[in-house]
Amino acid sequence: YTMESQGSDHIKTYHQYALLHLAVLHADFGCYGEAISAMNECIATARENQDARCLHFSLSWLAHLRKAYPEFSRLENCGEGSELAGNESDIITFLQQKAVENKDWATLSSSLLSQAEVNVEGGGSVARALEQIYQSSYLNSLHNVSSMVPSQLRLHSAIFNRLGQMPLAEHYCKVMYHIFRQDASRPDVLNVILQHAHMHSILGEYEEAYELLRQNDPSKEKTLRLDNTFTAFAAMISLRRAIHHNDFFVAEEFLRQLKPIRQTADAGVIFETYVLEIEFLMRQGKLSSAFDCIEKQVAEAKAADSADIVRRIKLLTLKARLFAKAGLPTKGFSIAMRAASSAQRAMIMPAMWEAVGALCVILIDLGEFDAARSLVDAIMPQVLEGGNTTTIAQLYSILTDSYVGLAGKAFETDPSQSSGHIDAAFMYLDRAHEAYVKVEDLDGILESLTKKAMLYKHKDDEDMIEEMDRLYDSTVQEAERRQLAMHGQGA
pLDDT tens digits for the chain (491 residues)? Answer: 555 555 555 556 677 888 888 888 888 777 878 888 888 888 888 888 777 777 777 877 777 777 666 666 555 554 444 455 456 677 778 778 877 887 888 888 888 888 888 888 777 888 899 999 999 999 999 998 888 888 889 888 989 988 989 989 999 989 988 888 888 888 888 888 988 899 999 999 999 999 998 888 777 666 777 788 888 899 999 999 999 999 999 999 999 999 888 877 777 888 899 999 999 999 999 999 999 999 999 888 877 666 678 889 999 999 999 999 999 999 999 999 999 999 999 899 999 999 999 999 999 999 999 999 999 999 999 999 887 899 999 999 999 999 999 999 888 788 889 899 999 999 999 999 999 999 999 999 999 999 999 999 988 889 999 999 999 999 999 988 888 877 766 55
Q: 62 and 128 share a domain? A: no
Q: Which helix (H) or strand (E) holds 185?
A: none
Q: 59 and 148 share a domain? A: no
CA distances from 105 to 95, 179, 180, 348 (A): 11, 22, 19, 31
Q: Which of 157, 179, 196 is the last residue of a domain?
A: 196
Q: 75 and 113 share a domain? A: no
Direct distance between the N- and C-terminal alpha carbons of the chain, in angstroms, rounded to an integer: 46
DSSP string, 426-462: HHHHHHHHHHHHHTT-HHHHHHHHHHHHHHHHHTT-H
> Residue 387's domain is classified under what CATH number?
1.25.40.10
Residue 455 within a domain: yes
Domain span at residue 182 reads 103-196
Q: 70 and 109 share a domain? A: no
Residue 159 within a domain: yes
Residue 94 within a domain: no
Q: 393 and 420 share a domain? A: yes
Q: What share of the chain is helix, strand, coil (3-state, %, to 5)?
A: 85, 0, 15
Q: How many domains does the chain have?
A: 3
Q: Write down the H helix ranges in 285-411.
A: 287-303, 309-325, 329-346, 349-365, 369-386, 389-410
Q: 115 and 155 share a domain? A: yes
